[in-house]
Structure formats: structure tokens, C-alpha cells
Amino acid sequence: MNIAKSFYKPLRLLYANLVNKRFRSKLFLVFLLVTIVPVSVLVSYSYHAIKDQLVRQAVENVGSTMDQINNNIENKLSLYAQLSTLIYLDTELRNYLLNQYKKNDVYVLDAFDYINKSLYKIMAMNPNMKALTIYSDNESLNSDGFFIKHTADLPQTLRDRSFQAEGQLTSFYVTDPATNEKVILLARSLNYLSLNYPYGILAMEISEWELYSLIEKENKNKTIYVADEKGDIITSSTKQAAFRNISDIVPGAAKAGALKDGDVVYGSIRGERSIFVQKSLPNGWKTVVVLPYDALIDQASAASRKMLYISLACLAVAVVLIYWTSQLMTKRFESLLQQIRKVERGNFDVRLPKMGTDEVGQLSFALNKMAVTIQELINDVYKKEIAQKEAEMDSLQAQISPHFLYNTLASISALAIANDTRQSHLMADDLARFYRISLSKGKKSIPIEQEIRLTEHYLAIQQVRFEGLFNVRFALDESLLHYTTPKLILQPFIENCINHAMWDEEGGIGIVIKLMADGGDLVLAVVDDGMGIPRAVMERMLEAPDASVGYGIYNVHKRIQLAFGDRYGVRVHSRLGIGTSVHIRMPMTR
């Protein structure tokens, strides 16, 4: 332990002395040392190591290229698999294929008309598809030699493999005897979904150019081969491949299975040293890339020499310019800049270590102090705003109850004078229930179900006073009743309907109370068929509800906006002589 302390103590003293030196001097000394040593080591090492590095890099790039090629091939095959599925699921086509036709049956014309239109449309959308044929077991359906043929026309091996695949797409690599062109044949058995009984084979012939187009642009400084599961070459980037099978290309050891997915094998083709890399596709096909080893080595040697010359030139220039550029290359500056960017994004949790007594150290100290001060100021302002909003909400909500209480007590007094004691009792009971829910033990929000019950008690009280003058109907989405709402948001609007919208004391007024979902929001609506709102008053309400337009509307609108934000609140629509609808929008909260 003492030996370690005696070793690190001089280093700590040297570091402390260096940190407190003039900024210009210490940056020059540090960065001159940091530049000369790594560049010198890099120049010496790179000359010997760059050859292997370039070879490894080339192999890695080939791996990415092969993954991309394989993905492209899989996507192509998947496209044709989807096309075969469309045909496989076409029930009308299946019915035409399975129907037993009599001699000179006119219905067979409908079958060929539908089959030709369906398959020709698919071929028109896929120009690289050379042929699309359904081989049917139905002998009563004559072959047209193009879209419909009989299963007996297929080789037995192809039929057996297609049926064994049980509805999966099977690929074959064949040569068109007419044109001697390479053709990829994709086959799929057709069967009943319920009985699993095959009634034919769907065959799609695809031009070799379909695969060649996926690799033709990737053949720079390399040769790419695509082979089937047996190793037969389907296509290659050279177009006219000199080999028929992968075993003719890879080294002798690879023929026995040494060439596996992702492995790098070194060998030679006709005396030329090469690197072989192989990757397989899910359907058993293989992608093999051949890299010319000597060409890579030549490039590596040339690159090594260029790097040596450039490094020496850069080192000479760096020694001259290091004094002027060292101020821009310091770790402490980078750390300080990162913390400044955090403050810029609004994150004031700045934790900078002590950076000495030079200019950077003084900046870091000032930044720490500034961040702490700003954070404290923001917290104070934020807390004050929250307290102000809560006080305003309490004040607004407290103003509702006295107004209604006075009207209700006046009604009870009038009834008592008329000696209708039973109605007075019912009215007082509804009033008590109304206030029991509205108080809610000091809670600011209640479930919508309780808000509806509160409204029903209020309506019961008003029915006593305005007996037979209004009719109320509820249209509620009961799945939304468990969500919460600020208290007493429906009562002011129902009071407006009764006191201001009624124009016919004999016919009365109809009121509908709705609860519904709109997008991700809740909407409570109060709709009446009363006299409506005058146009001048309505224009002021559309601009913004305020106390001068209607105290109840203003109160509810303000409370909702204070609770949920400016996006929510009250919207009023009215037509004079037709009626008024009030929509209260708020988020779904529990």
C-alpha cells in the first residue's frame, strides 16, 4: 500500500501542477505529447497490420452484402408465395376447377373466362413471370395448353415433392427445353381446406433474370453465385457462369462440408487465390461469394504505403500547428460543453467535478451556481402557479352552491306557505341528497354516475316548482359512468334551460342529457328545444365564455380548463327558435 501511495503521489502532484499552469502552456504540452505518441505508434503498426485489416473488412462487407441479397431473394420468393396464396384461397376458381363438365357444356366457357382473366391479371402485374399454370386432376376440364394443363403433364418427381410439401411453396431449378434458358419453377399443391384433398398443382415459372437483377450491381471486385439445395448454380453475377455446381468452385476440403454458413475458406480457382464465404436461405438455397485474395492484398499494400506517407506529413504539420489548435482539443472543454447543453435543454441537474483554478475551472464553478439558482427560481414559480390554480378552482366551485341554495330555499318557503307539507318534505330530502353528493367529503372530482344522480335530485326539486313544464330524457353510454368529472358541471346548464329557454308555459320544454365518447375524450351534452340564444349573445359566447355572458357557463368552462387544460371546456351551439345544445368535453380520467 505504501509503495502504491509513493507511486501515485508524484503523479497527483504533477497533475495538480499541470492543471494550475497557464492554460495555453498546458494544452500545448499535453496535446503535443498526445499527438506525437499515438501517431508514431499508429504509423509503425499500421504498415504491418493494414493488410489483414483490409481483408477482414472486405469479408465483413461481403457478409452484409450477402445478408442483403438473401433478404431480397426471400422477399421475392415471399411475393410469389403471396400470389400463390391468393390463387389458393380463390373459392370461385376452385369451384371451376372441381366442377365436372359434360360434353359441349357451355358452363366450361365461363370457367375458362374466369381462369384466364384471373391468371392473366397476375402475370401482367409480374412481368418476370414466364408462365402461370394450374395442373388439374379434373379430366372433364380440357387443357388450354397455357393456364390449364393436366397433372399427368408434370414429371412424377415434381408432383411427389409438391404433394409432400402439403400446401407449402416448393422451388425447382429447371432449364426451358424450348429456349435453353434457366427457369425457376415454384410449385404448390391445391387442396380442400377442410378435407385436405389435393385436386391440382399451381406452378409459376420465373425467369433467372429475376434473381440476377438482385445481384448484378453487387459484383464489384467479387463474384456472387446463387445455388439451389443440391448446389446447382441458379444464377451468378458473371451472367455466363463457367461452372454448373458449387462443388466445382470451392476447394476440395469444402466439397466434404467444410464450407459452412458464415465460415471463411481460403482456396484457389484455376490457380488464382480466393476467399469463399457462404450463407444459406430458409428454403435451402445458398449464396456463395468469391473474393480475389491477390487483388485485396495489392490494394492493402498500396493503402499501407499511402497511409505511411500521409501520416508522416500530417505528423510534421501537426508539430507546427499544435500550439494554435490545442485550445480547441481539451476534454474539460468537452465536459463543460455537455453540461451547458443539458442546461439549454432544460435539465438543470448539473454536476461538474472541480476543474482547478484556471479559466475552465472558473467557468464550471459559475455554471454550477447558475444552474442551482435557476432551478430554485423555477421551483418557486411552479409551486406558486399550482397553488394559485388550486385556489382559483376552489373559489370558482364554491360560488355555485349558494346561488342554487337560495333559489331552492325560496321554493321550499313558497310551498310551506301553501301548506303542501309532503312536497316540502320530498323537496327538502332531494336537496339534502343533492348537497351530500355535491360536498363529497371535500373531493373536487366524483364519478360521472354520481354526477348523474346529483342531476336527478336537482331535477326532482325543480319538477316540484315547475310541475309539468319540462321533460327530461337521459341518453347515457353506461360503459363511461365509472370515469370521473369535476362536480356540478351539468346543473348550471339545466338551470339555464328551465329559467331562460322556456317560452311556452303550456307546452313546456324538452331536455336531453347525453354521455358519449369522442375519440379519446368524454363528452357530456345538454340539449333543449327551447327558444334559443339571441345572435348577439351567441357571438360573444363563441369567442370565449366569460362571466358577462352567463355565470354558470363561465364557471364550468373555467373549472374544466383549470383542471385539464385549454383543449377542453364548454362549447355552445344555438339557433333562435329551435333550441340550444351545450357540449362539455373532458379527458377520460379515473
Distance CA 415, CA 96 (A): 84
DSSP 527: E
Within 10 A of 434 (CB to CB), how many other CB atoms are there?
24
Alpha-carbon span 229 to 427, nearest angstrom: 89
CB atoms closer than 10 angstroms to residue 171: 20
DSSP state of 580: E
Burial 548-568 (b: 16+ CB within 10 A, else e): ebbebbbbbbbbbbbbbeeeb
Instruction: Tell me how far apart the alpha carbons of residues 513 and 240 are, in angstroms, rounded to a whole number.
Output: 80
CA distance 85 to 167: 9
Angle between helices 107-125 and 91-98 (to 10 degrees): 130
Which residues are CB-contacts of 530 (< 8 A; sequence separation ≥ 6)? 497, 500, 501, 502, 503, 509, 579, 580
Return the pLDDT at 517: 92
Residue owning grid cell 387442396: 191
| Cβ-proximal residues to 106 (8 Å cutoff; 6+ apart), any chain | none
**What cell does 331 get?**
476534454
Question: C-alpha 219: how far from its chain's center?
Answer: 35
pLDDT of residue 256: 40
Per-residue pLDDT tens listing for the chain (590 residues): 556 556 566 777 766 666 666 656 666 676 667 777 776 677 667 656 766 777 777 777 877 888 888 888 888 888 888 888 888 888 888 888 888 888 777 788 888 888 888 888 888 888 878 888 888 888 888 888 888 888 888 888 888 888 887 777 787 777 666 666 777 888 888 876 654 677 888 888 887 777 878 887 776 778 888 887 777 777 887 766 567 777 777 765 444 444 677 677 777 777 777 888 888 888 778 888 888 877 777 766 676 677 767 877 877 777 677 666 665 556 666 677 777 777 777 776 776 677 667 666 777 777 777 777 777 777 776 665 665 566 455 545 554 555 565 456 556 655 655 655 656 656 666 665 665 555 555 567 889 998 898 888 888 888 877 777 888 999 999 999 999 998 888 888 888 888 888 777 666 788 999 999 998 899 999 999 888 888 777 777 656 555 455 667 777 888 888 888 888 999 888 888 888 999 999 999 88
Q: Given CA atoms 322, 326, 328, 334 in this order, what sign does their dihedral have?
A: positive
What pLDDT score does 17 carry? 67
Is residue 584 a contact partner of residue 515, using CB atoms and an 8 Å limit?
Answer: no
CATH homologous superfamily of domain 443-587? Histidine kinase-like ATPase, C-terminal domain (3.30.565.10)
Query: According to the 3-state scheme, what is the secondary structure of 503-515?
Result: CCCCCCEEEEEEE
